[in-house]
Structure 1
């Protein structure tokens, strides 16, 4: 059985430990060099390791992982980030005229796989030195990837990277000029219209918001003339409208005979634009395995069910199932826990009007709508951060608020920050909030070095750690993978029910909103100009109102009950639009 030993460099803190991994190792005690100290950090010999796991349990920072892999993975390592580093097994297969998706947790190797296929990272094939083209062709002999790597230097590749936040520092000029400079297909005007970039074509790149920058980078990757297109998390920072528009652009490339590969966490978007799905499994920051391609429906379903039958691999203890809600109206009993009057907020160029509404004890209201339509403004008024121009809020309830962009300025580790910010830090909080959110895994990490997803989970934990009557969470799923999003939904639902509280949750992921919300508050209008809030409405009425604006319809998958996007113009899509049922089909 192949075995790998991985040392998480971010967690390993030799200055704060006594090298327990070496001290308690049975191999070291009998004189073998199973664990040696090199440059003040431990090195674990995979040849001498017996897999006892003592070092895993003794490490005070949970930095050591000993993994016994299936026999089928013997000799299949594509890349290893040095001795005791992350290992990737398998690669996705790009196919002409098709969109292939990659679905898996953060830190599981999706971006590494894309970098290898684009030539930005030369794989090592599990060895210390990088492999040559000849080595790669021989390694993939007899597979679809053999032909790919034999032509890797000849194929033009267009790549949309995962991180876009650092692009403005290296790119200057106006949006329109930038697109014209990279346009090899003569499609700048068309893509500017399809991705809603027309109003910012004369703006400087370094003045763009995250969503505007994301759409610009998608457009820039799409206007290049290439045989292969790779998009790494294209829906980040985008609202539902923009995600669907981006998915349509990506599908158009495949319809022109191009091969397209996408790494994405939004299941509805994956379902909408992909033909095949590669499930990527393993242990985050330790190892990842890219499965064989499946049809998009089957791939997403087996991911949710948590069991890959062909590989005989279990992804998680329990499957993820959605609630098949009935189309009927839901009845609210008792008096509302919180009521707010009609509210108006005016800025220099934007006006928000929200009708009077209410929320009941134990209820979660999802807040949906496009970007720049007033959702965050509404939440900030409820939180007391903004005063309405018209209307008066009586804030007799205790409110806890997780802002849209969590910023934590703290010099110290996560554990001490939590104990300072959370009044009721007890065992139940650790078991019911910290552990499911994965915050316990970064407990000893410095707050300043956390990733976007880790910082998001920490901000949610701090919010839920407050004893409050009303919880306000603004885009809690941003930067998180599918499993993390659904875990947060479970944690929030459990907390709201147990505490007899209520919550408003702003969300762009339709599946997360469906999984989480009891009712919907729908924002319509003209982004950046005026916003109008309707509701809270029942899920049926709210989703119909919302999706009618987006122009897409959903149906329920018979196996998992998850909402699935109907293909545009399909028989079911036309039927549901004629019936006015964009979310539930009777």
Structure 2
């Protein structure tokens, strides 16, 4: 795979994420297993892309390729015009928060800022700002084991936002949470996304979550994952309360369309 960075022509914008004819294969005792592709996909800056599909369709594999944790068997992956490098250019939130339990809530965020090269004086200012953004301004001094699972995932999101990376990658971050907490965090993430304008790629099994969060939804087929549906979501991103958004006829229509595509793709 070539490491030469992409360049934009006059008046063009470098894509936040670009996949071209990407395929990925895993080895196994029974021989190679085709996990993904071929897939070509371009994500412009500021988009909130949601990948949805049945288990084993390659959603998390695609996310790992974008993060640079793995390299494709064939094709090219670019983030911001260059080959992705693990730990650079993207904040990542996993299904489990993966926090440091011996540190406080604020200490976990402060550590992420330190790794991002933020000076100490600025870290002291930004920690409360980041915690305020995810609704945790009043628990900064608590230890991780003293807060709920939903609050821990909020810390993970604040930590991912700490480095001002242009890309945010989220691999089923709410899957282990109860329905009410999950819904609240969906609303918080949608608000934070609108505030920051960062490009996000979010993996989920949930059709409801995909339509609520995404400005664009891509449905993947069963393995090897290919694009079954690529849908722009035209619902308003700001100025509408979550309950009002979920009550819109357009929301119900999109949910039905995506749900039908997921079921057909998994068949």
Which TM-score band applies after superposition, normalised by the shorter structure?
A: 0.5 to 0.7
Q: Which residue, out of 202, 206, 215, partners 1:518?
A: 215
Residue of structure 2 equivalent to 1:502: 199
Residue of structure 1 equivalent to 2:22: 343
Give the total of aligned pairs: 216
* 1:437/1:487 contact within 8 Å kept: yes
User: Aligned in 2, Cα 1:343/1:447: closer, same or farther, shift over 3 Å?
Assistant: same
* 2:99/2:108 contact within 8 Å kept: no
Residue of structure 2 equivalent to 1:403: 94
Q: Which residue, out of 226, 247, 251, partners 1:560?
A: 247
Asked whether 1:532 is paired with 2:226, we answer: yes
Residue of structure 2 equivalent to 1:375: 59
User: Aligned in 2, Cα 1:536/1:468: closer, same or farther, shift over 3 Å?
Assistant: farther
Residue of structure 1 equivalent to 2:45: 361
User: What are the within-5 Å matches in structure 2 for residues 201-212 of structure 1?
Assistant: none
Q: What secondary structure, in the 3-state scheme, does the structure 1 residue paired with 2:165 have?
A: coil
Q: What secondary structure, in the 3-state scheme, does the structure 2 residue paired with 1:411 have?
A: coil
* Structure 2 unmatched runs, 5+: 1-10, 235-242, 262-267
When normalised by structure 1's length, the TM-score is 0.33
Q: Deviations over 1:33-64 (max 9, x none)?
A: xxxxxxxxxxxxxxxxxxxxxxxxxxxxxxxx
Q: Deviations over 1:360-417 (max 9, x none)?
A: 1111111111122211111011101112222233453722222233322442211122
* 1:366/1:506 contact within 8 Å kept: yes
Asked whether 1:492 is paired with 2:205, we answer: no
* 1:365/1:518 contact within 8 Å kept: yes
Distance 2:246 2:42 in 1: 35
User: Aligned in 2, Cα 1:439/1:371: closer, same or farther, shift over 3 Å?
Assistant: farther
User: Aligned in 2, Cα 1:486/1:508: closer, same or farther, shift over 3 Å?
Assistant: farther
Q: Deviations over 1:309-368 (max 9, x none)?
A: xxxxxxxxxxxxxxxxxxxxxxxx953333221211112264222311111111111111
User: Aligned in 2, Cα 1:434/1:558: closer, same or farther, shift over 3 Å?
Assistant: closer
Following superposition, the deviation at residue 512 of structure 1 comes to: 3.2
Asked whether 1:462 is paired with 2:159, we answer: yes
Following superposition, the deviation at residue 448 of structure 1 comes to: 3.9
* 1:475/1:507 contact within 8 Å kept: yes
User: What are the within-5 Å matches in structure 2 for residues 212-291 of structure 1?
Assistant: none
Distance 2:133 2:42 in 1: 30
User: Aligned in 2, Cα 1:558/1:400: closer, same or farther, shift over 3 Å?
Assistant: closer
Q: Which has the higher contact order (CA 8 A, sep 6+)?
A: 2
Q: What secondary structure, in the 3-state scheme, does the structure 2 residue paired with 1:416 have?
A: helix
Q: What secondary structure, in the 3-state scheme, does the structure 2 residue paired with 1:367 have?
A: strand
Q: Which residue, out of 117, 128, 133, partners 1:430?
A: 128
* 2:169/2:202 contact within 8 Å kept: yes
Following superposition, the deviation at residue 504 of structure 1 comes to: 0.8
* 1:522/1:534 contact within 8 Å kept: yes
User: Aligned in 2, Cα 1:582/1:522: closer, same or farther, shift over 3 Å?
Assistant: closer
- Of 473-482 and 351-360, deviating more is 473-482
Following superposition, the deviation at residue 532 of structure 1 comes to: 2.3
Residue of structure 1 equivalent to 2:4: none
User: Aligned in 2, Cα 1:445/1:391: closer, same or farther, shift over 3 Å?
Assistant: same
